[in-house]
């Protein structure tokens, strides 16, 4: 496994991050397709054994049960000091006032709840899951700085938002001498490339590590357009992300199939190699729910796409409406 420094930090992360949204009690939360604990653990173990040291979850995934499963598995299979454990805050965790968001109150309550579920006394990367239009940026950033100073968090990161929001937050932290975001976890794959306009150049200019989510477009890029899976039929987020520009998207999927066939490798490897090869990207966050998923992801790191192949993969893309920010 190759390791890189995460953005401009001194932190070593594997070139792949294991996305742990796939691991959670299926009837808790909103993702019925997730794997229960006994089926999840082998993937986390296999990732550790393959040298993956970077794991991403969130307080909201399967109503907290993803954090519980990941915490227990990492305790059994890894050494805490070697692991880079990332989680997130923002989404609603309970009904009623103060049940979500990025207020000082929510951040303080949610970091403690995440630490309890993960069974650890610190997380390496604490990320804001979305932009909170209902809380002043200063309040959020000062609270994040305070959880770092309290020793509960080592680094902070952000996830999908507009580049102007991220840029403004970076500058507020700097002006106040507060801990600055070191990562951007955003939506980037061959079916959604809008981040290439503003966010990726901003991250490169600011030394921010980019860790894209859903690099395979939640499986869309790995199979024929008409082919379905349990996840594609039950993942309620897929229609909101990948249904608006069907004709062009279908052509991208066909281009992936063609490049993969010429190379004699699975499509997933080609689609992931495209993301991993992008200059701004530190480590894509992958989802693995079948035995071969991790093997393909690891193999993708050694698959060097040529300029011609990249051009063929990118050619059918058309601009998409912004998606994945809410």
Ligand X SMILES: NC(=O)c1ccc[n+]([C@@H]2O[C@H](COP(=O)([O-])OP(=O)(O)OC[C@H]3O[C@@H](n4cnc5c(N)ncnc54)[C@H](OP(=O)(O)O)[C@@H]3O)[C@@H](O)[C@H]2O)c1
> Which tokens hold the place of 240?
């909101």
Check: CB of residue 18 under 8 Å from CB of residue 56.
yes
Q: Rounded to the nearest 5 degrees, what angle is found at the Cα of 229, between the Cα atoms of 223 and 231?
A: 115
> Which tokens hold the place of 307?
């300029």
Q: Cβ closer to ligand X: 171 or 240? A: 240
Minimum distance of ligand X from residue 215's CB (angstroms): 5
Check: CB of residue 125 under 8 Å from CB of residue 156.
yes
Q: Cβ closer to ligand X: 77 or 138? A: 77
Minimum distance of ligand X from residue 232's CB (angstroms): 5
What is the DSSP secondary structure assignment for residue 190, as one 8-state letter? T
Q: Cβ closer to ligand X: 103 or 234? A: 234
Minimum distance of ligand X from residue 304's CB (angstroms): 18
Q: Cβ closer to ligand X: 120 or 289? A: 289
Minimum distance of ligand X from residue 228's CB (angstroms): 8
Residues in the chain: 326
By C-alpha distance, which of 157, 136, 24 is closest to 87? 157
- Interstrand relation of 153-159 and 54-56 (parallel, antiparallel or unpaired): unpaired
Question: What is the Cα–Cα distance from 20 to 244, expressed in whole angstroms?
Answer: 27
Question: What is the Cα–Cα distance from 264 to 259, expressed in whole angstroms?
Answer: 8
Which neighbouring-strand residues pair with 56? 19, 86
Which residues would be at the binding site for ligand X (CB under 6 A)?
A: 19-22, 56, 129, 159-160, 185, 213-219, 222, 229, 231-232, 266, 268, 285-287, 289, 292-293, 296
What is the DSSP secondary structure assignment for residue 36, as one 8-state letter? P
Question: What is the Cα–Cα distance from 120 to 13, expressed in whole angstroms?
Answer: 19
Check: CB of residue 53 under 8 Å from CB of residue 283.
no
Question: What is the Cα–Cα distance from 266 to 272, expressed in whole angstroms?
Answer: 10
Out of 3, 23, 61, 317, the active site residue is 61
Q: Cβ closer to ligand X: 175 or 239? A: 239
For residue 162, indicate whether it is catalytic.
no
Minimum distance of ligand X from residue 233's CB (angstroms): 9
Minimum distance of ligand X from residue 51's CB (angstroms): 18
Q: Cβ closer to ligand X: 106 or 217? A: 217
Cite the active site residues.
61
């Amino acid at each position: 496994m190759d390791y890189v420094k995460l953005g401009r930090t001194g932190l070593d992360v594997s070139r792949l991050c294991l996305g742990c949204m796939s691991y959670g009690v299926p009837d808790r939360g909103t993702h019925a397709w997730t794997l229960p604990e006994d089926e999840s653990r082998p993937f986390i173990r296999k990732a550790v054994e393959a040298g993956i040291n970077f794991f991403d979850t969130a307080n909201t995934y399967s109503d907290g049960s993803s954090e519980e499963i990941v915490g227990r598995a990492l305790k059994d299979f890894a050494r805490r000091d070697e692991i880079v454990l990332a989680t997130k805050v923002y989404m609603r965790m309970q009904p009623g006032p103060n049940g979500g968001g990025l207020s000082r109150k929510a951040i303080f309550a949610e970091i403690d709840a995440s630490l309890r579920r993960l069974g650890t006394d610190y997380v390496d990367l604490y990320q804001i899951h979305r932009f909170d239009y209902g809380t002043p940026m200063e309040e959020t950033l000062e609270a994040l700085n305070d959880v770092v100073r309290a020793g509960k968090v080592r680094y902070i990161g952000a996830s999908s938002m507009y580049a102007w929001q991220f840029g403004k937050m970076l500058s507020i932290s700097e002006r106040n001498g507060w801990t600055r975001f070191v990562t951007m976890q955003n939506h980037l794959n061959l079916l959604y490339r809008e981040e290439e306009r503003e966010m990726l150049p901003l991250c490169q200019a600011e030394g921010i590590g980019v860790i894209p989510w859903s690099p395979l477009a939640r499986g869309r890029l790995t199979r024929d357009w008409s082919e379905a899976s349990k996840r594609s039929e039950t993942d309620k987020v897929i229609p909101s992300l990948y249904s608006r520009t069907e004709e062009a998207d279908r052509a991208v999927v066909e281009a992936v199939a063609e490049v993969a066939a010429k190379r004699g490798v699975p499509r997933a490897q080609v689609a992931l190699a495209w993301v991993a090869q992008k200059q701004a990207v530190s480590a894509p966050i992958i989802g693995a729910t079948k035995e071969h998923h991790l093997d393909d992801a690891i193999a993708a790191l050694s698959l060097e796409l040529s300029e011609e192949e990249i051009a063929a993969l990118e050619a059918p893309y058309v601009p998409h409406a912004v998606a994945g920010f809410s």
